[in-house]
Structure 1
Amino acid sequence: MSDRTVLVTGGTGGLGRAVTTAFAAAGWRVVAPVRSATEEKGDATYVIADLNDPGAVEEAVSTAAGEAAAPLRAVVNLVGGYASTGLVHETPYEAFEAMLTLNLRATYLVTHAALPHLLAAGGGAVVCVSSRAAVAPFPGAAGYITAKAAVLAFAGAVAAEYRQKGVRCNTVLPSVIDTPANRAAQPDADHSRWVQPEEIAPIIRYLASDESGPTSGAAVPVYGRA
């Protein structure tokens, strides 16, 4: 029987499947919100939820925290996405805002809803996913870069506010993750240089575990050879 629960958003994505597998293998009860039942595959308990809807987020978090024998002790925020929108003067505000919504809204809503449960359980961990682009920008993706920088700043704020309350918050910064979607988008890239989901997942699991107890506010680069 698992004695602790982790809530993993984006748990059916290219990185998410590796993360849910890593937690399940380590004995965690894993809860993953999904948009529809067709996404339900892998090592988790799946709950249907629109993570842009605050009410749906509250329900999903309550489900994750509802097992008395396995209290909610960690949240992993994987929801996000990339779009190249051109130079800043070429980028419509709607496209810029869409990147903020996709990469930041669910991270905020889920963390906001989960924190009271983590505090009630005596502490825990939040892990967010930013990007190397947040600290090493490149041309043509201002919305994505700004959003991922905002995720990094938000995680820092959570770490500062809850460090003394027993809740830690850390962030991983991947380069390009080797997923089917990224390969399809960049078929001519050198995929051997990209970081594998199975390489990132143990780092996320470690940051959520008691083993990393002294660590909060870290931004961990997971670049592979990219």
Structure 2
Amino acid sequence: MANKTVIVTGASGNMGQAVVKKFLAEGYNVVGTIVPNDKAPFDIDDEKLEKVVVDLMNEDDAEKFIQNVITKYKGIEAAVLTVGGFAMGTVAATKTADIQKQYKLNFETAYNVARPVFVQMLQQTTGRIFLIGSKPGLSTANGKGMVAYSLGKSLIFRLAELMNAEAKGTDVVTSVIVPSTIDTPQNRQSMPDANHDAWVKPEDIASVISFYCSPEAATLREPVIKLYNKA
């Protein structure tokens, strides 16, 4: 396979590491971002993996990072933007500052990378961008008690729609991955009595993303990809 490059933000997270491993197995150059002072263990060692420390809430830093990737690898075939945050809170308990925090964690970190990546892909006329949505972001019925989080994630879906409208007629596609509860050690610890078999595994999410980057999926334009398993 010709050298292809994928950017994975939040590469040290459970989903991020699964995506990194999958694309490395597919022969991609993988550029994974980690936050400054990241405490998460990220021990994947591969000559095709480049780990970059960058604060994605800083628009200038994010743009510089993307430009460096373009210069080094001569293009970007895919970007998987897994960085985000979560918070509970009813309307009564949610202040504007809480909404701003979730907006920054879930929307700005995605937009600051997606925008320069999108511009590059339009020049290439090809590429896949994957944003991470959520059921509370997709449907307000699922967002009860998670007001700031639901509002922050809801913008991800609107962004994908706007980007796909701009990219119409090209092979640049933006999709939103919507997982149900992800089977992670942290979620198992916080919900020990849940049916873990019903959850979606990070490796399964990575496999679906990989498929959407394959030649077999070239004609697919699915903007919302729901990975609910049995939830």
TM-score normalised to structure 1 length: 0.90
Paired residue for 2:5?
A: 5
Q: Quick check: 2:36–2:55 contact (8 Å CA) kept in 1?
A: no
Q: Quick check: 1:10–1:34 contact (8 Å CA) kept in 2?
A: yes
> Structure 2: how far apart are the matches of 1:157 and 1:195?
28
1:77 aligns with 2:73: no
Paired residue for 1:213?
A: 218
Correspondent of 1:99 among 98, 102, 127: 102
Q: Quick check: 2:132–2:176 contact (8 Å CA) kept in 1?
A: yes
RMSD across aligned positions (CA): 2.0
> Structure 2: how far apart are the matches of 1:127 and 1:209?
14
Question: 1:38-74 CA deviation, whole Å, 9 max, x = no partner?
Answer: 6553252111110001121112212322234x62111
Which range is displaced more, 18-27 or 131-140? 131-140
Q: Can you give the 5+ residue segments of structure 1 that lack an aligned partner in the other structure?
A: none
Give the deviation of 1:154 after TM superposition.
0.8
The one-letter amino acid of 1:196's match is K
The one-letter amino acid of 2:43's match is K
Which range is displaced more, 142-151 or 35-44? 35-44
Correspondent of 1:41 among 43, 58, 79: 43
Correspondent of 2:113 among 110, 115, 118: 110
Paired residue for 2:26?
A: 26
Q: Which structure 1 residue ranges, 4+ long, deviate > 6 Å from structure 2?
A: none
Q: Quick check: 2:84–2:105 contact (8 Å CA) kept in 1?
A: yes
The one-letter amino acid of 1:41's match is D
1:60 aligns with 2:65: yes
Q: Can you give the 5+ residue segments of structure 2 that lack an aligned partner in the other structure?
A: none
> Structure 2: how far apart are the matches of 1:37 and 1:99?
20
Paired residue for 1:180?
A: 185
> Structure 2: how far apart are the matches of 1:104 and 1:185?
25
Q: Quick check: 2:83–2:105 contact (8 Å CA) kept in 1?
A: yes
Question: 1:155-183 CA deviation, whole Å, 9 max, x = no partner?
Answer: 11111111223311111110110112222
How many positions carry a matched residue from both structures? 224
> Structure 1: how far apart are the matches of 2:105 and 2:189?
20
Correspondent of 2:199 among 178, 194, 197: 194
Give the deviation of 1:217 after TM superposition.
4.6
Q: Quick check: 2:10–2:35 contact (8 Å CA) kept in 1?
A: no
Give the deviation of 1:9 after TM superposition.
0.7
Give the deviation of 1:212 after TM superposition.
1.9
Q: Quick check: 1:6–1:74 contact (8 Å CA) kept in 2?
A: yes
Give the deviation of 1:33 after TM superposition.
1.3
Q: Quick check: 1:163–1:216 contact (8 Å CA) kept in 2?
A: no
> Structure 2: how far apart are the matches of 1:75 and 1:91?
32
Give the deviation of 1:2 after TM superposition.
5.2
TM-score normalised to structure 2 length: 0.88
